[in-house]
Amino acid sequence: MSGPALERVQVPAVPAKSRRERIALQRLLPFLSLIILFIALTLASPNFFTSTNLSSVVRQTAVINIMALGMTMIMINGGIDLSVGAILAMGGLLGTMAMESGMSIPMGVLVGILTGLGCGLANGLMITHLRVQPFIVTLGTLGIFRGITLIISNGLPVHRIPEQFSYLGEGNLLGVPFVLWILVGCALVTHVILEHTRLGRYTFAIGSNREAAVYAGIPVSFHTTAVYAIGGMLTGLAGMIEASRLMTGQPTAGQGYELQAIAAVVIGGGSLQGGEGSVVGTLVGAFIMGLLSNGSDLLGVSPYLQQAIIGAVIILAVTLDEVRKRRTAAA
Amino acid sequence: MLLELDHIEKRYGGVTALSDGSLTVQAGEVHLLLGENGAGKSTLMKIIAGIVERDAGRMLWQGREVHLKTPAEAAAIGISMVHQESLLAPHLTVAENLYLGREERLPFGWVRRQRMIESANRLIRDHQFPLRAEWRVEKLTPAGKQLVEICRAILHGSSLVIFDEPTSSLSSSETAEVFRIVRTLRDRSVGVIYITHRLDELQSVGDRVTILRDGKTVHSGALAELTTDRIIQHMVGRELSAIYHRDPLPPGDELLRVEGLNRKGELHDISLSLRAGEIVGMAGLIGAGRTELCRALFAVDPIDSGRVFVCGREARLRSPQEAVEAGIALITEDRQITGLALRLPIAHNITLANVRGISRFGLLDRGAQNSAARDFMGRLRIRASSARQLCGRLSGGNQQKVVIAKWLFRQARVFLFDEPTRGIDVGAKAEVFNLMHELARSGAAILMVSSEMQELLQVADRILVMREGRITGELPGRSTQEEIMRYAALETVSEEIR
């Protein structure tokens, strides 16, 4: 196997190490901003770095965070799920109704999770079998799921829930909020799926180039559906946490949450084009948004301005990420 | 002198794309720009067309130094580029595309549709192009799209037109049409820069040649003074020995048999057989159904009737997934769209079709993945900084080798190569052929589709010829181009897109 011109290897002229370090540094940017934000808030407000406040940040962000984990997988796959807010409400409602009708708390939570799984499965099957864009399908199911939830509940929240159920969202285990354990658990599982299993590898491949994935013999429809189902499951769990925090099953819960989940993924380096994103990035993204809103509350910034700030942060984060990608993608 | 480039330099980050690019173009000449992929041709052209800015060196336009910052600035002084991959808006009409960005300025952004269409049609008639101004661009063939780009250059009175591999996706009659247009432009004293990989077409169009290698201009002069061998020598930096010819192996077991395969409107009564150790060529004109056959064999498209046997067993394949499981590999003609996940690393792409092979207890074994990737990168001489490099940043030849590595790692038995050498340079071509030989020696069966007959004659043990969805002939490996053409184009030559 001797061909011409083989020994000529294209290597960058600058020492590879400093280059790699620079890229690594840029990749850490969201992480650094989170830390800086954390320190700044600690200095700015005496009420920030207290265990009460920090656990309330964790509790507030956990719901979006868990949803965003599923959204990360879906977006890496090249899709999007606009219906997560409605899935959250349906999961929370059916789970609490199950408890109301006498089921045990774990069973109720399971009902909520399975409801989410079912919704996600429906999304995935429709996307892969009708061959309609995920944006459109989930825009439709956003309405359908919400409508069904309202019909089932007749628009009324579920109140008769066992008191111990509040432990899920408000309890502590070993001195930290119980939801933090759940979040860490979900994040670990999602991370392992994405980075260390075939499903994860295929998810990246499908999002990066769906056609190439088909031609490589990957069962694309199956794995795409699986990703939506897992996303739905996580959302169902988030719905139960939300219900536990409010101690009601609200048919109108979760409105607008889909955008927050998408924002978390995007701030964390995910892309609407697919093929990019990570669990750590998404967690950082969700916490950046959580800290911004908590910090604004503590510093007395008006909630109206808060929204604008978070909007600006989304654009800023994605811009910085784009700049990084353009720089590293030398011809 | 229309254009003079003098010692142009360009770096992207730490990578030097161009270290000493020089080029001069006169009005009324066709200047060929040659070089392997990665030699710096595209970068040099992007600098001329204002797409990127140079880091050092001088660029003189009609004797005056210019610094072009945008394609619009280049267009304003009369430089335009016909891109290899069409940069047209597919949902707009030909006329709208021609005038895109240069509509008449009327109040309220009003557009005079009718006038636009009329003047576009006048231009098309003048040049006898097979186009209509009202057609939507998405319905055009690649050749048609290229024509639209050429029209755009003419329409805006460009005095320098750059053609970036215009014929890489065209049939021979379309290619002839492009040559005719290039000559027309030259006769109207337009300067033309013509980039190509196809050494066989040089004599038909060029006046002078500039050859780039490793970002440097290594030769510039009249075409008449160069032989093809000299040109290749300049491009690759050393002599290219006759590497191709080989003695056919004794054919082994039949690995693929197709009986009476039909697919409505595309494939008619196809029967063929591939044996282990064989390289079978597949010739034909563009549109003869060769790619369609590959797609049907790989079960991308369903077949209407016919039987397919893989490794002696009948295979009813319903999806590429099943084809892969049966042991078939398809190296598609368009590796960027169907072959590679460009935004993923080399290691991921190589192991993509065989993730099971790097899994243990359901989890990916990174060590196994990386050692497999490194192994194939070494064996196939894939030039990259590491297995983590993204495939989008590799040259065409290296990308093609990654695709092949993917199927080697999958241990496929039947390889369908669809235009395996399209868009890759001379050196990489030789390597791909060598790989195919090695594959055959290790007991694989290979079907190689190619539009370059010379290639088929060099590589294949026997050659099948297709025309209009049928296999019209079978020839021994040592045939001639004329014999192939007889089967490939018996009645169709005159009818084709004219």
Mark which of B204, B236, B268 sits at the end of a domain. Answer: B236
CA–CA min distance B212, chain A (Å): 14
What residue of B is the nearest CA neighbor of A18? B14
Distance from CA of A198 to the nearest CA of B (A): 6
User: Which pLDDT score is estimated for B496?
Assistant: 39
Rounded Cα–Cα distance for residues A86 and A74 (Å): 16
Q: Which member of B38, B430, B431 has the closest CB to residue A10? A: B38
Residue with tokens 């797609």: B295
Beta bridge partners of B331: B417
Residue written as tokens 């604008």? A308
Q: How far is B126 from chain A (nearest CA, A)?
A: 39
For residue B245, tell me if it sits in a domain. no
Q: How many CB atoms lie within 10 A of CB B337?
A: 13
Rounded Cα gap, residues B275 and B443, in angstroms? 9
In a domain, A19, yes or no: no
Buried b (16+ CB within 10 A) or exposed e, A200-226: bbbbbbbbbbbbbbbbbbbbbbebbbb
Task: Name the band, by pLDDT with cuts 50, 70 and 90, for residue A4.
Answer: very low
For residues B34 and A223, give the distance between their C-alpha atoms in angstroms, rounded to a whole number: 45
Q: Which residue out of A21, A199, A209, A276 would a mutagenesis test of the B interface target, given it has the greatest number of B Cβ atoms within 10 Å?
A: A209
Instruction: Look at residue A14 and tell me if it is in a domain.
Output: no
For residue A207, which of A321, A79, A25, A52 has the smallest C-alpha distance? A79
Please state, in angstroms and as integers, the Cα–Cα distance from residue A186 to each residue in A68, A107, B144, following that order. 11, 19, 53
What pLDDT, on a 0 to 100 scale, did the predictor assign at position B489? Answer: 66
Q: Which of A241-245, B76-80, B388-392 has the highest mean pLDDT?
A: A241-245
Instruction: Specify if B243 maps to a domain.
Output: no
Which residues of chain A neighbour B243 with C-beta distances below 8 Å? 3
Does any CB of chain B come closer than 8 Å to the CB of residue A36?
no
According to DSSP, the residues that pair with B32 across neighbouring strands are B194, B209
Model pLDDT, residue A317? 83
d(CA B150, CA B163): 9
Interface touch A198/B356, C-beta < 8 Å: yes
What is the token pair recorded at A174?
Answer: 């070993």
- Report residue B388 as tokens: 């983590």
Q: Is A18 on the interface with B (CB under 8 A)?
A: no
Closest CA to B393 of B437, B449, B346: B346
| Residue B311: pLDDT over 50 | yes
Asked whether residue B247 is domain-assigned, the answer is no
Separation CA A205–CA A200 (nearest Å) = 9
A331 located within any domain: no
Question: Same domain, yes or no, for B222 and B135?
Answer: yes
pLDDT > 90? residue B438: no
Backbone angles phi, psi at B79, to 5 degrees: -110, 125
Asked whether the beta carbons of residue B431 and residue A3 sit closer than 8 angstroms, the reply is yes
pLDDT cut 90: percent of chain A above it: 59
Q: Please indicate, yes or no, whether residues B295 and B221 belong to a single structural domain of this protein.
A: no
Are B385 and A192 a contacting pair at CB < 8 A? no
Closest chain A residue to B240, measured at CA: A4
The answer to whether the Cβ–Cβ distance between A331 and B43 falls below 8 Å is yes
Q: Which residues of B touch A219 (CB under 8 A)?
A: 319, 321
Q: How many structural domains are present in chain B? A: 2
Tell me the pLDDT band of B417, cut-offs 50, 70 and 90: very high
**The total number of residues written for chain B in this structure:** 498
Residue B168 lies in a domain: yes
The CA-CA-CA angle for residues A257, A263, A266, to 5°, reads 145
Is pLDDT above 60 for B133?
Answer: yes
Asked if A198 is an interface residue toward chain B (Cβ–Cβ < 8 A), one would say yes
Task: Give the chain B residue whose CA is nearest to the CA of A274.
Answer: B343
Of B236, B270, B301, the residue that ends a domain is: B236
Out of A201, A208, A219, name the one closest to residue B342 (CB): A208
Indicate the residue among B209, B236, B263 that finishes a domain. Answer: B236
Averaged pLDDT score across all residues of chain B: 84
**Closest approach of B7 to chain A, Cα-based (Å):** 19
Residue B356, SS3?
helix
Question: Which strands sit side by side in the sheet containing B15-25, from one edge to the other?
Answer: B64-65, B56-61, B3-12, B15-25, B216-222, B208-213, B30-34, B191-195, B160-164, B79-82
Provide the token pair at A192: 């392992």
Q: Is residue A20 part of a domain?
A: no
Residue B490's pLDDT is 58
Nearest to A205 among B341, B363, B385 (CB): B341
Dihedral of alpha carbons B200, B245, B406, B415, sign: positive
- For residue B280, pLDDT over 70 is answered with yes
* Residue B416 in this model has a pLDDT that exceeds 60: yes
Indicate the residue type of B338: T
What was the ipTM of the complex prediction? 0.78
Cβ within 8 Å, pair B15-A215: no
Q: Examine residue A24 and state whether it is found in any structural domain, yes or no.
A: no
A190 alpha-carbon distance from chain centroid: 10
Q: How many CB atoms lie within 10 A of CB A42?
A: 12
Which residues of chain A from 46 to 75 reach within 8 Å of chain B, CB to CB?
none
Q: Which pLDDT tens digit goes with each residue over A102-155?
A: 889 999 999 999 999 999 999 999 999 998 999 999 999 999 999 999 999 998
A residues 275-294 lying closer than 8 A (beta carbon) to B: 275-276
Q: Which of A10, A22, A202, A221 is most worth mutating to test chain B (most B CB atoms within 10 A of its CB)?
A: A10
Cβ <8 Å between A331 and B344: no
Q: What is the number of other CB atoms lying within 10 angstroms of the CB of residue B24?
A: 17
Closest by alpha carbon to A220, among A236, A239, A207? A207
Alpha helices (H) along chain A: 16-27, 29-44, 51-76, 84-100, 105-130, 134-153, 166-170, 178-196, 198-208, 210-215, 220-246, 257-267, 279-298, 303-328
Would you state the pLDDT for residue A82?
Answer: 96
Considering the domain architecture, whether residues B322 and B186 belong to the same structural domain is answered as no
In a domain, A35, yes or no: no
Tell me which H or E stretch contains B413. none
- Give the span between the Cα atoms of B330 and B61, in whole angstroms: 47
Q: What is the CATH number for A194?
A: 1.10.3470
Q: B205-235 burial, b for 16+ CB within 10 Å, e for fewer?
A: bbbbbbbbbbbbbbbeeebeebeeeebbbbb
Residue-averaged pLDDT of chain A: 87
- Helix H or strand E segment including B464: strand B462-467
- From the list A195, A275, A331, the residue facing B344 with the nearest CB is A275
CB contact under 8 A, B434 and A192: no
Instruction: Check pLDDT > 60 for residue B303.
Output: yes
Read off the pLDDT of residues A267-310 as tens digits, 9 standing for 90 and up: 888 888 888 899 999 999 999 999 998 998 888 888 888 889 88
Q: Do residues B338 and B386 share a domain?
A: yes
For residue B430, what are the domain limits?
254-488
Asked if A197's CB is within 8 angstroms of B362's CB, the reply is yes
Q: Are residues B228 and B338 in the same domain?
A: no
Structure confidence at residue A16 (pLDDT) = 44
Residue A160 sits at the chain B interface (C-beta within 8 Å): no
Chain A interface mutation, best of B18, B36, B319, B352, highest count of A Cβ atoms under 10 Å: B352
A205 touches chain B (CB under 8 A): yes
Tell me which of B477 and A212 has the higher pLDDT: A212
- Contact of A208 with chain B, judged by CB distance below 8 Å, is answered with yes
Q: What is the pLDDT of residues B286-302, one digit of tens each?
A: 778 899 999 999 999 99
| B122-139 exposure pattern, b = at least 16 Cβ within 10 A, e = fewer | ebbeeeebebebeeebee
Instruction: Compare CB distances from B341 to A6, A12, A208 and report the shortest one's residue.
Output: A208
- Asked if the structure places residue A10 within a domain, the reply is no
Confidence of residue B169 (pLDDT cuts 50, 70, 90): low
Partner B contacted by A331 (CB < 8 A): yes
In this structure, are B410 and B262 located in the same domain? yes
Read off the amino acid at residue B32. L
With beta carbons under 8 A apart, name residues in chain A contacting B330. 215
Q: Which of B192-196, B387-391, B484-488 has the lowest mean pLDDT?
A: B484-488
**Does residue B498 sit within a domain?**
no
> CB of B173 within 8 A of CB of B141?
no
- Asked if residue B123 has pLDDT above 80, the reply is yes
Min CA distance, B411 vs chain A (Å)? 13
- Output the CA torsion sign for B319, B322, B326, B330: positive
* B323 neighbourhood in chain A, CB within 8 Å: 217
Q: Per-residue pLDDT averaged across B223-235, rounded?
A: 80
Task: Give B417-452 as a DSSP string.
Answer: EESTTTT--HHHHHHHHHHHHHHHHTT-EEEEE-S-
Q: Does A216 touch chain B (CB under 8 A)?
A: yes
Identify all chain A residues contacting B342, using CB atoms and an 8 Å cutoff. Answer: 208-209
CATH number, domain of B54, equals 3.40.50.300
User: Quick one: pLDDT at residue B103?
Assistant: 67
pLDDT given at position A222: 95
Kindly list the residues from chain A whose CB atom is less than 8 angstroms away from the CB atom of residue B390.
Answer: 329
Domain containing A261 equals 50-319
Q: Do B337 and A212 touch (CB under 8 A)?
A: yes
Number of structural domains, chain A? 1
Give the containing element (helix H, strand E) for B91. none
Q: Is the pTM of this model over 0.80?
A: no
Contact B337, A211 (CB under 8 A): yes
Which site among A27, A194, A215 would you substitute to test the B interface, given the most B Cβ atoms closer than 10 Å to its Cβ?
A: A215
Nearest CA distance, A126 vs chain B (angstrom): 19
Contact B429, A5 (CB under 8 A): no
Cβ neighbours around A131 below 10 Å, total: 9
The pLDDT score that the predictor gives to residue A97 is: 94
Q: What sign does the dihedral B135-B136-B138-B139 (CA atoms) show?
A: negative
More confident residue, B328 or B199: B328
B304: tokens are 């209407």
In this prediction, residue A69 has a pLDDT band, given cuts at 50, 70 and 90, of very high
